[in-house]
């Protein structure tokens, strides 16, 4: 399950992707318009800046803006940054691997192969789900109404 921090990060990033190359967006505006608690959003944006996804400008007209093309920022990266591994069991995670804790030979474990298959498919979907793709989907849904 996604944490609230992860959900807010995705919401904020989609908004910043919509504003891509249009200048910085102030935290207060982003918090109010996207209904994200300002203090919580500040911590999220700081983490995204530290990860190199956002850039900030200080001062009265300052704020944050996306420092990468929205086609290159995907949900797999964001989920791993805020939520951790994208897997149900630690012996199939990519960046957070831990050995099996039930003393089974992982190379012969059929359970592990099922969970690895789920992980691989999930990660692939999240990698294709870029900020630009999410915006395209939102726009398509609006046109259907």
Q: Burial of 115 by CB count in 10 Å (0-12 exposed, 13-18 middle, 19+ buried)? A: middle
On whether the CB atoms of residues 16 and 44 are closer than 8 A, the answer is: no
Cβ neighbors of 26 (< 8 A, separation 6 or more) are 61, 62, 63
Confidence band for 103, pLDDT divided at 50, 70 and 90? low
pLDDT value, residue 32: 96
Q: What is the pLDDT of residue 68?
A: 95
DSSP string, the chain: ---HHHHHHHHHHHHHHHTTTS--B-HHHHHHHHT--HHHHHHHHHHHHHTTSEEEE-STT-EEEE-S-TTT-BHHHHHHHHH--SSSSGGG-SSS----TT---GGG-HHHHHHHHHHHHHHHHHHH-BHHHHHHHHHHHHHH-
Which tens digits make up the pLDDT trace of 4-50?
999 999 999 999 999 999 999 999 999 999 999 999 999 999 999 99
Q: CATH 1.10.10.10 residue ranges in the chain? A: 4-66
Q: Which CATH number is correct for 4-66, 3.40.50.620, 1.25.10.10, 1.10.3720.10, 1.10.10.10?
A: 1.10.10.10
Predicted TM-score (pTM) of this structure: 0.90
pLDDT single digits (tens) 40-80:
999 999 999 999 999 999 888 789 999 999 999 999 999 99
Q: Find the radius of gyration of the CA atoms of the chain.
A: 18
């Amino acid at each position: 399950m996604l944490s609230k921090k992860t959900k807010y990060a995705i919401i904020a990033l989609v908004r910043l992707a919509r504003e891509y190359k249009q200048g910085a967006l102030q935290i207060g505006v982003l918090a109010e318009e996207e209904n994200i608690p300002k203090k919580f959003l500040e911590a999220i944006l700081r983490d995204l800046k530290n990860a190199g996804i956002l850039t900030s400008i200080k001062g009265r007209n300052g704020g944050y803006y996306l420092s990468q093309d929205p086609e290159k920022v995907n949900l797999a990266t964001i989920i791993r940054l805020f939520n951790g591994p994208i897997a149900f069991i630690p012996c199939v995670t990519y960046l957070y691997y831990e050995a099996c804790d039930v003393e089974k030979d992982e190379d012969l474990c059929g359970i592990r192969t099922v969970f690895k298959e789920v992980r691989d498919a999930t990660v692939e979907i999240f990698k294709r789900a870029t900020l630009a793709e999410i915006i395209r989907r939102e726009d398509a849904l609006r046109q259907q109404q």
